[in-house]
Amino acid sequence: APTPAPTPVPTTAPTPAPTLVPTVEPTPEPTAEPTVTPTETPTVFFAPSTTGPALVNVGDGLSSYNLCQGNCNIDADCAGDLVCFRSDVEGGSVPGCSGVTEGTTNYCFTPTVHTGNFPLILIGNGLDHGSYGECQGDCDSDLDCNGDHLVCFQRDSSSTAPVPGCDGNGIGGKDYCYNPVATTPAPTPAPTPAPTPVPTTAPTPAPT
């Protein structure tokens, strides 16, 4: 059966009663107290190492800290070729040492064994051109560095800015040779351009 014809009477007008007015009570004002400021130093937890000598703070101001001992201030405070590992957090870890750090205590460690980088070593000033190897100082220009890729990393007076590819702080204000090629990340390879689609050659009509 066909659909019934619509009624000629129009749809009833909407009810004259308006939509209920929302409550006049405003949303409660936010609290005047600001959000509690986060702690200045976040709590950081590290999984302590279980290999190597235990980290020990043997005191300040000593002249020869052994492996995994603190509290050193500069590399010269460490015995032999050890360098001073700067610790900034409570409960951190030091490569090659077991246990965790105590606050900002700095510890002596052997970087070449655990990171593959040479430690910063001061072998003298004013040596002949080509006398300084990687992470050695105090160089004055790139000509002082030994090798085609080494250049002299210049630091401001008393600066202990990190030297790329080298471990430790070295002596403040001294300049050290480093390899910028080894520390520069490889460029992102360019994407392969999409080949131009070859149109399909229309086949030769078969003879009749």
56-70 pLDDT, tens digit each: 999 998 889 999 999
Percent of the chain with pLDDT over 70: 60
- Contact present, 150 and 131 (Cβ < 8 Å): no
Beta bridge partners, 70, equal 57, 107
Examine the pLDDT at 46 and tell me if it is beyond 50: no
Sign of CA dihedral 113, 119, 124, 128: positive
**Residue reference for tokens 């951190």:** 92
177-198 pLDDT, tens digit each: 999 987 655 555 565 566 656 6
Task: Please tell me the predicted confidence (pLDDT) of residue 169.
Answer: 77
Examine the pLDDT at 100 and tell me if it is beyond 80: yes
* Token pair listed for 111: 């970087």
Dist. CA 138–CA 126, nearest whole Å: 8
* Token pair listed for 95: 């490569």
Q: How confident is the model at residue 92 (pLDDT cuts 50, 70, 90)?
A: confident
**Is 92 or 27 the better-scoring residue by pLDDT?**
92
Task: Please tell me the predicted confidence (pLDDT) of residue 55.
Answer: 93
Task: Please tell me the predicted confidence (pLDDT) of residue 118.
Answer: 83
Residue 152's SS3 state is strand
Dist. CA 123–CA 176, nearest whole Å: 10
Nearest to 69 by CA among 45, 201, 133, 61: 61
Examine the pLDDT at 42 and tell me if it is beyond 70: no
How wide is the angle at C-alpha 20 spanned by C-alphas 19 and 24, nearest 5°? 135
Dist. CA 195–CA 124, nearest whole Å: 59
What would the mean pLDDT of 30-53 be, rounded to a whole number? 52
Dist. CA 78–CA 72, nearest whole Å: 7
What would the mean pLDDT of 125-139 be, rounded to a whole number? 93
**Is 3 or 53 the better-scoring residue by pLDDT?**
53
Examine the pLDDT at 125 and tell me if it is beyond 60: yes
- Contact present, 42 and 84 (Cβ < 8 Å): no
Task: Please tell me the predicted confidence (pLDDT) of residue 72.
Answer: 92
Dist. CA 49–CA 12, nearest whole Å: 80
Dist. CA 39–CA 37, nearest whole Å: 6
Task: Kindly give, in sequence order, each residue whose CB lies less than 8 Å from that of residue 125, ignoring residues fewer than 6 positions away.
Answer: 138
Average confidence score pLDDT of the chain: 76
